[in-house]
Amino acid sequence: MYVGIDGGGTATRGILSNGHDVMLEAGAGPSNAIVVGEERAYEAVQKIWRALVEHPGTLIDATVIGLAGVDRPFLRDNWIRRLDQLIPGDYWLVGDYQLAWAALSHGDPGVVGILGTGSVFFGHNGVDGARVGGYGWQLGDSGSGIALGQKAVKATLAMLDGTGETTALGDLVSEYFQASTALDILTRWYTPPFEVRAISDLAHKVLQAAANDTVARALVDHEAQSVVNHYQTLTRVLGWRDQWPVGVVGGLSKWWLPWLNQYWLPLGYRTPLTLVTEKPVEGAVWLAQQWKNIGKRSDRHVLS
């Protein structure tokens, strides 16, 4: 039996599989330790694990856990110490973007972008992997829900101040904050318990508004070009081949896809960007099975 866990800043998902079929699924809250703290993140992963293996006699061959932020050595080491105590067998701890890549290509060369609350891009050419973006919400992630939401708020404030163009984004932002003046919006923004990450809830509406609103169109175009640049960078670093799949996954992927292909295909790529239909957590199970079969060294006790 194999366990896959996909943890992000919004939710954590896990599945138990026999290698062919999903036997059990479980869900929990966010497990991005940078966002919610290590204790809360660990509690989410622990809840998933226990829900999946609670039945007596359930023997787990291997587990893959994909989490945001684990590229940072100090955070990775802290997770390894905790997971060594939680998981008795072989496991591997990877960045969540690797799960999306595995779900897209099943280990073959390919490039994937995760576009949700944040964003990150990853690709593999069969020998080496490479990642770009994923700087976190405080610095800004290209094409992310937070980036789109923040830009919508800024455009609204500029409109209300008289320094920017009239835009339909003003109605979206005013409704979201239940505020009609710039001062009221700013008060809501800077008054706890409001969290800046929550502004990503506006993102899909910004993408929809871009079809008829010039201000929304301009900001979406800017973000789309930045996203496509991230894909281009990976294709250059990895030595692009036209037959490689290029995927988009995440909460905003279906709204982003048509915009991105408007910039991607004219660059001469024969393969269009496509939605990743398999869930990243299923990619985790696939990796667990493959790495167990080839005898890949487990991450147990492996500290930086």
pTM of the model as a whole: 0.92
51 assigned to some structural domain: yes
| 182 and 209 assigned to the same domain | yes
Predicted local distance difference test score (pLDDT) of residue 238: 96
304 assigned to some structural domain: no
What is the per-residue pLDDT across 119-174, written as a single tens digit (0 to 9) for each? Answer: 999 999 999 999 999 988 778 799 999 999 999 999 999 999 999 999 999 999 99
| 48 and 92 assigned to the same domain | yes
Longest dimension (CA), the chain: 67
40 assigned to some structural domain: yes
How far, in Å, are 73, 134, 256, 260 from residue 228 at the CA level? Answer: 29, 14, 11, 7
| 252 and 224 assigned to the same domain | yes
| 87 and 162 assigned to the same domain | no
For residue 22, the domain's CATH number is 3.30.420.40
CA distance 34 to 199: 18
129 assigned to some structural domain: no
Whole-number average pLDDT of the chain: 94
| 54 and 155 assigned to the same domain | no
| 96 and 150 assigned to the same domain | no
Average pLDDT value for residue range 266-283: 94
Predicted local distance difference test score (pLDDT) of residue 102: 97
| 98 and 166 assigned to the same domain | no
| 100 and 168 assigned to the same domain | no
What is the per-residue pLDDT across 51-104, written as a single tens digit (0 to 9) for each? Answer: 999 877 789 999 999 998 899 999 999 999 999 999 999 999 999 999 999 999
Q: Which domain holds residue 48?
A: 2-106+278-294
- The helix (H) or strand (E) run that includes residue 64 is strand 62-67
CA distance 18 to 33: 29
172 assigned to some structural domain: yes
| 76 and 173 assigned to the same domain | no
Q: Which two tokens stand for residue 267?
A: 């660059």
| 285 and 238 assigned to the same domain | no
115 assigned to some structural domain: no
pLDDT at 27 over 80: yes
| 200 and 288 assigned to the same domain | no
The residues, ordered by sequence, that sit 6+ positions from 301 with a Cβ below 8 Å of its Cβ are 80, 84
111 assigned to some structural domain: no
| 43 and 94 assigned to the same domain | yes
- Do residues 109 and 238 make contact, with C-beta atoms less than 8 angstroms apart? yes
Average pLDDT value for residue range 3-14: 93
Predicted local distance difference test score (pLDDT) of residue 55: 79
Partners of residue 171 on adjacent β-strands: none
Crossing angle between the packed helical segments 182-190 and 169-177, to the nearest 10 degrees: 50
Predicted local distance difference test score (pLDDT) of residue 115: 95
Domain count, the chain: 2
